[in-house]
Chain A
Amino acid sequence: MHIPDGFLDTKTAIATAVLSAAAVATALQHLKRNVTRKQIPMMGLAAAFIFAAQMLNFPVAGGTSGHLMGAVLCSVLLGPSASIIVMSTVLIVQCFLFADGGITTLGANIFNMAVAGTLTGYTVYRIVQRIIGSVRGKFAAIAFASWCSTVAASILCAGELAWSGTANWSATFVAMTNIHMLIGLGEGIITTLVIAGIWKTRPELLDRQFVGTKRFYEFISYGTIFTIGLILFAAPFISTLPDGLERVASSAGFDVRALKEPILNTPLAGYRMNGIITPELATIIAGMTGMVVVFILSYTLAKVVAPKSK
């Protein structure tokens, strides 16, 4: 998902760079206050570790293979702030040493994978983990959060490409989101199995977090940065929703303009799906269904990985 140079226009490149810089700065501030000297070599090694782990091939079907992105792996093991820094360094090294991802798009790549990947993943993880509780809940949360982080990163990527005028929103959103909903499954499985492996051998490593309780200030600043990004780049996504529904409504004979408000409450059930639903809407529906399915799969995986709830 590394965007090469030339795919984003100036305003997008600058906007993402600013947001990423703000997020990284916040993470650094947070770490400066909380991290001990002892944990710094660990961060450097964690970055090298993620880099190496990303190089491993996971064969899928017919010659294609998947790779680990690692944002959730990193944030579960080190905490969100350290994860943002670690993932950013990985992306920077990939950009400079490998030309994997462009320099003008570095801001976007960092925002999508290091910042959004981490924050989405970690937030989902904490929420789900609190709802389900127990060891099994932790693993289900990890699997589900990994999937979410991949999908979130891809949606933002699509949004950025669309906002730049490089590609139109419809094609990009549909293509990228659908593909990444599948890729996300791999991410979920790999991340969960890796953490399970660590849990079996050295469970105490899972207790160490660089961030203790998430402080209110950090939460606000991350939240703001993330929301701005979301609005900018996923905005087309929000606007698609009424479009799709309008089309459904008008083909059923409703006067669209007059019923602008209530349209959002019109039940879709009872209408034939084919030919009325746009590709974007279909993707959104698939996404919602996907979320439920993935959640169930995550819990199943957790049962496999942690058979007895301790």
Chain B
Amino acid sequence: MRHDFIDRYSRLNSRIHNLPASLKAGIAVGLVFITVIIPIYTVIYFSSLLIFLIVIAALSLIPAKFIIRRMLFLEPFILSVSILTLFQTNGIISFLNVVIRSTLCLFTMLLLSNTTPFDELIQLLRRLKIPALFLTVLSLMYRYIFVMIDEVERMQRARTSRTFTGNKSHIWKTRTVLISQLFIRSTERAERIYSAMRGRGWR
């Protein structure tokens, strides 16, 4: 299943995974804040942070290959925005400044998301008094992302097996039709989900 990469490791049984979500989230977010603010010449901070993150990664039992692949996948986004910093005086320093900070934050957040099941984050948000309506939408969304991606995959496979041209406009046409169909199916599913929720007492 192509959506495996989303949630594959968030439920492993490691010392890190077993820590409470609030602790992990608090530390991660705190570290990101500090990393963003702290002056660039505090090399001690950046190197200790890097070591800390590597240790956490090791303890988390998440395969290193996975972490590295995710970072490589996301790094280009950081780099492409960072290029804009080159257009000023001291461009190179600004560039490195931003790339180092951003990459460390990325590493931190990757570790957080892969050691904490999303539903625990939702529970945390509930304790933080985020409105129920918002959390219901968020929770339903998370639950149905996988269903949605599976459906997209199935629909694409059905189309690809009847596609004999690599023509770009054909791809645009079929993909927009796919999205329209996906929306219609979503409305139908939403009605069934609503029935199911009512049938179990939701008022």
A–B contact via C-beta, under 8 angstroms: yes
Q: Which residues of A contact B (CB under 8 A)?
A: 2-7, 10, 13, 24, 28, 31-32, 35, 37-38, 40-49, 51-53, 55-59, 68, 77, 85-86, 89-90, 92-93, 95-100, 102-104, 161, 166-168, 170-172, 175-176, 189-190, 193-198, 201-202, 205
Contact of A172 among B84, B138, B182 (CB under 8 A): B84
Q: Which residues of B contact A92 (CB under 8 A)?
A: 138
Q: Which residues of B contact A (CB under 8 A)?
A: 6-7, 28-29, 32-33, 35-37, 70, 74, 77-78, 81-82, 84-85, 87-88, 94, 98, 101-102, 105-106, 109-110, 112-113, 118, 121, 131, 133-134, 136-145, 147-149, 151-152, 168, 171-173, 175-184, 186-187, 189-191, 193-194, 197, 202-203
CB distance from B181 to the nearest CB of A (A): 7
Q: Which residues of A contact B37 (CB under 8 A)?
A: 10
Q: In the bound complex, do residue A41 and residue B190 qualify as a contact, i.e. CB atoms below 8 Å apart?
A: yes
CB distance from A299 to the nearest CB of B (A): 19
Q: Which residues of B contact A52 (CB under 8 A)?
A: 145, 148-149, 151-152, 182
Instruction: List 19 extra interface pairs beyond A44-B138, A97-B7, CB under 8 A.
Output: A3-B81, A4-B77, A28-B131, A45-B144, A53-B182, A56-B179, A85-B133, A85-B137, A89-B138, A89-B141, A96-B118, A100-B77, A104-B32, A104-B33, A166-B98, A167-B84, A168-B88, A189-B172, A194-B183
Contact of A5 among B32, B118, B137, B171 (CB under 8 A): B32
Q: For the complex, would chain A's binding face be called helix, strand, loop or mixed by DSSP majority?
A: helix
Contact of B137 among A43, A99, A175 (CB under 8 A): A43
Q: In the bound complex, do residue A166 and residue B131 qualify as a contact, i.e. CB atoms below 8 Å apart?
A: no
Q: Given A104-B33, A205-B184, verify A97-B106 contact (CB < 8 Å).
A: no
CB distance from B22 to the nearest CB of A (A): 14
Q: In the bound complex, do residue A99 and residue B70 qualify as a contact, i.e. CB atoms below 8 Å apart?
A: yes
CB distance from B114 to the nearest CB of A (A): 9
Q: In the bound complex, do residue B184 and residue A167 qualify as a contact, i.e. CB atoms below 8 Å apart?
A: no
Considering the complex, give the chain A residue whose CB is closest to the CB of B33: A104
Q: In the bound complex, do residue A44 and residue B88 qualify as a contact, i.e. CB atoms below 8 Å apart?
A: no
What are 25 A-to-B residue pairs whose CB atoms are below 8 Å?
A: A5-B106, A6-B36, A6-B101, A7-B81, A10-B37, A24-B134, A31-B133, A38-B194, A41-B191, A42-B187, A46-B183, A48-B143, A49-B183, A58-B175, A68-B179, A85-B133, A96-B118, A102-B102, A104-B32, A193-B176, A194-B176, A197-B180, A198-B184, A201-B184, A205-B187
